[in-house]
């Protein structure tokens, strides 16, 4: 069964460093998402991406964040200068169509900022 | 106001018993979707079940069913015949604007930790 994959599974970084989180969505999917979950809290939407551009973003997704689809398979989230409060689990998700009922999540990247 | 409310921080159930996890939602959209995801201790998000606002029947997927009461704006998850492997965090989520204004953003509740006792 096709699945969303994410790398790395864990990343530890120093405050102020840049990190890039990588995702490979399901191959025929067209809508891509990033969510984050701070430890013990609910999952929060960051950004959605369609047709090579951001379609929607939350207030969390400020200028420190960017997303890119550098080739036909990868979908990346970059945090330019990490802060302690960026420590969280980051989930990538994808869906085939906008109205499709199932949004498939990757296993997540656990980011720790020291 | 919270869009998704899960009022049960934790629930306990005996193995083989049924359990209901509560979820209420708030939206002014006519077209929306409701989801339940399971998050085991390993951290991944596993899709369980979906209910569209216009679906006449309650959704079912194996041991999972969604008790959808539109007038009450509730979408409770019912797990029948609980198993030890059902112990996990369960999130209710909503996607609004299915009529075209949304690109699929999910809004999640705070989650309910379910513990299944042998």
Please give, rounded to a whole number of angstroms, the shortest distance from the CA of B83 to a CA of chain A. 23
Whether the per-residue pLDDT at A72 is higher than 80: the answer is no
Whether the per-residue pLDDT at B107 is higher than 80: the answer is yes
pLDDT of residue B101: 60
Residue A11: name the closest of A21, A1, A2, A3 by CA: A21
pLDDT of residue B30: 87
Parallel, antiparallel, or unpaired: how do β-strands A109-113 and A88-95 relate?
A: antiparallel
Query: Which pLDDT tens digit goes with each residue over B17-38?
Result: 999 999 999 998 888 899 999 9
| Residue A50, CA distances (Å) to A62, A93, B83 in order | 19, 12, 39
Q: Which residues of B touch A42 (CB under 8 A)?
A: 91, 108-111
pLDDT of residue A71: 86
Is residue A4 within 8 A of residue A26, CB to CB? The reply is yes
pLDDT of residue A57: 92
Confidence of residue A37 (pLDDT cuts 50, 70, 90): very high
Q: Which residues of A touch B106 (CB under 8 A)?
A: 33, 35, 43, 45, 93, 103
Is B104's CB within 8 Å of A48's CB? yes
Is B47's CB within 8 Å of A102's CB? yes
pLDDT of residue A99: 60
pLDDT of residue B46: 93
Q: How far apart are CA A90 and CA A36, in angstroms?
A: 4
- Kindly report the average pLDDT of chain B as a whole number: 92
Whether the per-residue pLDDT at B71 is higher than 70: the answer is yes
Q: Which residues of A touch B43 (CB under 8 A)?
A: 89, 107-108, 110
Q: Which has the higher per-residue pLDDT, A100 or B66?
A: B66
């Amino acid at each position: 069964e096709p699945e969303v994959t994410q790398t790395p599974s864990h990343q530890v970084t120093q405050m102020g460093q840049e990190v890039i989180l990588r995702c490979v969505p399901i191959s025929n999917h067209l809508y891509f998402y990033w969510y984050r979950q701070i430890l013990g809290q609910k999952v929060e939407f960051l950004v959605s991406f369609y047709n090579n551009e951001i379609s929607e973003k939350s207030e969390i997704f400020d200028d420190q964040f960017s997303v890119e689809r550098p080739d036909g398979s990868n979908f990346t989230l970059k945090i330019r200068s990490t802060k302690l409060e960026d420590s969280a689990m980051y989930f990538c998700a994808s869906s085939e169509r906008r109205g499709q009922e199932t949004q498939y999540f990757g296993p997540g990247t656990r980011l720790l900022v020291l | 106001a919270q869009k998704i409310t899960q009022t049960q921080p934790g629930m306990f159930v005996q193995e083989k018993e049924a359990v209901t996890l509560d979820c209420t939602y708030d939206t002014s959209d006519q077209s929306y979707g409701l989801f339940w995801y399971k998050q085991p201790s390993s951290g991944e998000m596993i899709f369980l079940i979906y209910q569209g606002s216009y679906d006449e029947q309650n959704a079912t997927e194996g041991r999972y069913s969604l008790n959808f009461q539109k007038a009450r704006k509730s979408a409770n998850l019912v797990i029948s015949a609980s198993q030890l492997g059902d112990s996990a965090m369960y999130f209710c989520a909503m996607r609004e604007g299915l009529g075209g204004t949304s690109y699929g953003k999910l809004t999640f509740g705070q989650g309910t930790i379910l513990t299944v006792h042998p």
